[in-house]
Structure 1
Amino acid sequence: MDALMTVADSDSTNIRPIRKLLAANRSEIATRVFRSAHELGIRTVAIYSHEDRYALHRFKADEAYQIGTPGEPIRSYLNIDAIVGLCLKHHIDAVHPGYGFLSENPDFAKALTDAGILFVGPSEQSLRDLGDKTSARRLAEIAGVPVLGGTAQAVASIKEATDAAEKLGYPIMLKAAKGGGGRGMRVVMEPSELASSLDSAQREAKTAFGSDEVFLERFVQRARHLEVQLLGDRHGNLVHLYERDCSVQRRHQKVVELAPAPNLSTEMRDAICDAALRIGRAVGKESGGYENAGTVEFLLDVDKDEFYFIEVNPRIQVEHTVTEEVTGIDIV
């Protein structure tokens, strides 16, 4: 409990209690953060755009401040300088980013840390290591966790993509290196589809994430999508809260989450959860491993009964409530 309710002073090893917490988000997740903070006796602060001035989360916090200007309903929540300035002005000790918006932005974590404010999430370096899926793949390999065959780096040209695809064998998956949510992903079944799919994936990745970097990965045609919930603290303790099955998807976006995963053997469940812990310990190894909530995602090839690492989401997820229902643990 003390580890979750205290923040280290920027110029010493002393710790001080978190008295005031800001949720740099809106709607359901901001309200969710306020509830848990209230139960811990922490004063809560909301931010809201002009368009959200009547939103419920504003009224669920002890304090609320408008941020940004009218006509910027989304950009307001992405203004790092404005959020940090507000924290300093109102003596806010810590910021919970929720999911989406700035939750995986290492520059946001750094700006808060530099200002002496606790970022309630993984370390800046962990966010940088995991923000690029090719970097995360390398961490998994270091941890001894199997990964799907693929390119070690983003491909720079159609020739590189063609050569890599021929080596991997079709079908292959094109994936945005610095994004998620199903965007920048394309399944390529045969060589004639590669050029147009690469162009389409790069354009979508650029629009969604500001980077057109795309890498190749072997495509598993009959796969289950499993994810393991992790929780780590600043003292190097890391645990898992078992798995969720998110195989029911539309356009690579999860639609239904189940926990525990049905029809999963005890041996496979233990192996996947152990692999998630090994990856978590490999992340930010110099600083003691993964800190805060996070999810490690895997594909299970149902034909070969083998699993492969695909990515880490270094934040709380929308679907965290599914795990809370079956474990009785308040992850937030």
Structure 2
Amino acid sequence: MKLWTQDDEDAAVPSSPKPRKIVFVNSSASLVPAPGYLAYSAAKAAQRSLADTLRMEVMRYSGPKSTYTVQCIFAHNFITPTFLQEQKTKPELTKRIEGTSGELHELEKQFPYAAKIAPEIVANVASGDYAVCDGSVKDLRKRIDFYEEITIFAWPSCGGVIVLERPCPADFDFLGLDRLDPPKKRHATRQEEDDFAQRLLLLGGKWWDSPARHSLFTQPDHLQDEDEMAALPEPTARENAWVGVAWPSSGGLVVAEWPTMMYPGGRMDDVVPDDVSRLFLCMTMDEKAAVLMDRLEGKWWTGVEDYEGKAFIGSWGNHRGEVGGLQQTWPNEGASQNPGSEALPGQRVLSSRESNFDVGKYC
């Protein structure tokens, strides 16, 4: 702090304040203590108090030269060598309360390794929240996930997250993504990300109110919390539907829909024909359209304005949330001041002229 404040005294006023952050990696034990964590919970509670007090202290240093922020991450258990060592002496009552009973292969189904949780914590720092509790430590910038199945994400500036599960090669081309080296993170500006989000909707992407709701209804059955599931609204018809979309070169769009979810935690996976996997082989939109029409009972529509199905295809501009409000996933400080059209590595910016239809007309 002293070094920062001294630097501010000698520095000229910049065009925008320099962000200065102090981040404490705390523990959920400081919020909900459990038997067996007497010394640990007390120490973490003291750290939480330190962060809360320091947050108020630094407010007086924020100004035209710098903005000071103190954030605290309240993470739950994650697997590290220290965690595995403490498991050997941890009281059985503590294990039962926090759900850490069982062998390592069972724990791996419930808790992430440090290598996975660390980047999520770093990404969450960008959200600007001063307190991040377990369950909300999500990477709110990731573009693609290769865990078990390929998943593409878009983060519209109005909130929520748009998700496309199991894309085929033709979908990558439609989105302007390099299949072999796609970008790891979302666009730096809201305008670019909104453009990408609209294209993802045109492929049948689902618009979830929040990353947490998406995770709750798509994660494998053995990871679902029954009490939490019961407390939340059931998936809507649009959230539950499997949707496949293609934009053939002859014009219009082809949409196939089935009232189920094609996810590990889905409720009626057998409803969709088995040969849906043929879609993953489609290299062009014409091939995808043929598979949707011939094998998955797809229907041809002249355009988005003509579409009357369950997908979120035409929802841009009028969607306010499926079961509640959309959770904001962009930093509080507002949009970037550089809304240029430069693409990220592995991604190129597409104009409407590069497709056989006018994206702007539909969105």
Q: Give the TM-score normalised by the residue count of structure 2.
A: 0.25
More strand by share: 1
Larger radius of gyration: 2
Q: Give the TM-score normalised by the residue count of structure 1.
A: 0.27
